[in-house]
Amino acid sequence: MMNEKNKKQVKIVLAGAGGYGVHYVEHLLARRQDDIQLVAIADPIAQKSPVWQKIRHVPCYSDLATCLDQIHADAVIIASPIQYHAAQVTAALAHGAQVLCEKPLCATLDQGEKIVRLSEQTGLHVAVGFQWSFHPVILAAKNDVMNGLYGTPETFKTIVHWPRSLAYYQRNSWAGRLKDSAGLPVYDSVISNATSHYLHNMLFFLGQTLDEAAMPDQIEGRLWRGQPIENYDTAFVKMKKNISGHKPAEMIMIASHLAEKERPPRIEMKFSEGRLYIEGARLTGERFGKLAGGASEVIDYGLTQGGEDVAHKTDALIRAVRKNEKPVCHARTACPHLHVIDWLQRHCQIDQVPQSKLCVKDADGSKWYSMKGLDQLIDHLADTCQLPDGF
């Protein structure tokens, strides 16, 4: 039987009511109100949110720290732009609240490491919204990997062809930026934000415990830019993780907003005794038999998508409040992703795609940039596990 603490209504403040924050507004308002209560919104432009009419009755503040000075919160959900994450997580922890911060955790590795230390000092948890790390399907497969069902990790591949129009970068003042107009670091890119959960997922499956993601031992990268933005829109990343007594596990991540055609992500994780792969959003495991050319067992883990991502993350936040349960994806879990992004920004120059290689089309009221032959190049590099030598 649950005690009074476990049964209490959880009072939540939401930082950021636009963008992805809209999904949290819809979810929080739909939950049982004896379960949770949305007690305040912290967003200086909340009135511009497409769901403003649904939240106009909720107290609204322009600054999270000021909000928390005046309103008690058991938990804070942060769905604001990247450049505000570090300060807002710090403010929430300083006010004694458990935290759920949307991905990425923050803009820089240094900020992330400070958040880890503060979380551990206060004993409060910071869940990080890499949605797959909260999904029962992903967690079931990771448990099987940890239990040795597939053997030793060998080669992980994640390939994302994801065209994005110029309107995608113009939807706010920070998309594709290195720093915002106030000088705050953003480092928004195709793999720091848009496809960050795919990069994190490979590192997450290499973690030795359920709440661990592995830190790569080696990183190589190529960063390209074709769109008129500050940061890169195409990334080729190759990583290695040392495995005791075995060859290093290799990971390759290729993601581009310059792709000519959108395709479902190509995701495969090969092990010494099997593989995991995702097709049509369904995660499947194959265990290799002793006979060549076939699998001795096929495991259908289920769909990795289904509209319950926000619910899974919010449930973890509520358990942190009621039971002090550490979320399966917390600040320390998210640091390997930040480490990769930080390494790429520090060590790889951003190469400008030659104008002769670019194709610009007008569609849907915006300009669409693509690179001629990029889709075929990505396929070749994915098959060979190589990085490009040039354009």
Integer-rounded Cα radius of gyration of the chain: 21
Residues 189-234 have pLDDT tens digits of 999 999 999 999 999 999 999 999 999 999 999 999 999 999 999 9
Q: Is residue 157 a contact partner of residue 266, using CB atoms and an 8 Å limit? A: yes
The label of the residue with tokens 């991905």 reads 103
pLDDT of residue 215: 98
Residue 13's alpha-carbon distances to 76, 101, 130, in angstroms, are: 5, 12, 20
Q: Is residue 234 a contact partner of residue 357, using CB atoms and an 8 Å limit? A: no
Both structure tokens of 251 = 């990971």
pLDDT of residue 305: 86
Q: What is the C-alpha to C-alpha distance for residues 251 and 216, in angstroms, rounded to an integer?
A: 9
Q: What is the C-alpha to C-alpha distance for residues 303 and 294, in angstroms, rounded to an integer?
A: 23
Q: Is residue 139 a contact partner of residue 115, using CB atoms and an 8 Å limit? A: no
| C-alpha torsion 5→7→8→9, nearest 10 | 150
Residues 117-130 have pLDDT tens digits of 999 999 999 999 99
pLDDT of residue 306: 76
Residues 342-391 have pLDDT tens digits of 999 999 999 999 999 999 999 999 999 999 999 999 999 999 999 999 99
pLDDT of residue 6: 55
Q: Is residue 301 a contact partner of residue 284, using CB atoms and an 8 Å limit? A: yes
Q: What is the C-alpha to C-alpha distance for residues 192 and 200, in angstroms, rounded to an integer?
A: 10
From the number of C-beta atoms within 10 Å of its C-beta (0-12, 13-18, 19+), residue 3 rates as exposed
All domains in the chain, ordered by first residue: 4-131 (3.40.50.720), 133-305+331-384 (3.30.360.10)
Chain centre distance of CA 203: 12
Q: What is the C-alpha to C-alpha distance for residues 158 and 171, in angstroms, rounded to an integer?
A: 27
β-bridge partners, 126: 99
Q: What is the C-alpha to C-alpha distance for residues 196 and 193, in angstroms, rounded to an integer?
A: 5
| DSSP secondary structure letters along 251-279 | EEEEEESS-SS----EEEEEETTEEEEEE
194: helix, strand or coil: helix
- In this prediction, the residues of the chain whose per-residue pLDDT falls under 50 are 1-5
223: helix, strand or coil: strand
The DSSP bridge pattern shows strands 10-15 and 36-42 to be parallel
Q: What is the C-alpha to C-alpha distance for residues 257 and 159, in angstroms, rounded to an integer?
A: 12
Q: Is residue 80 a contact partner of residue 43, using CB atoms and an 8 Å limit? A: yes
The label of the residue with tokens 């001629």 reads 372
The label of the residue with tokens 């000075």 reads 69
The CB density around residue 202, as the number of other CB atoms within 10 Å, is 27
Q: What is the C-alpha to C-alpha distance for residues 337 and 216, in angstroms, rounded to an integer?
A: 9
- Residue type present at position 18: G
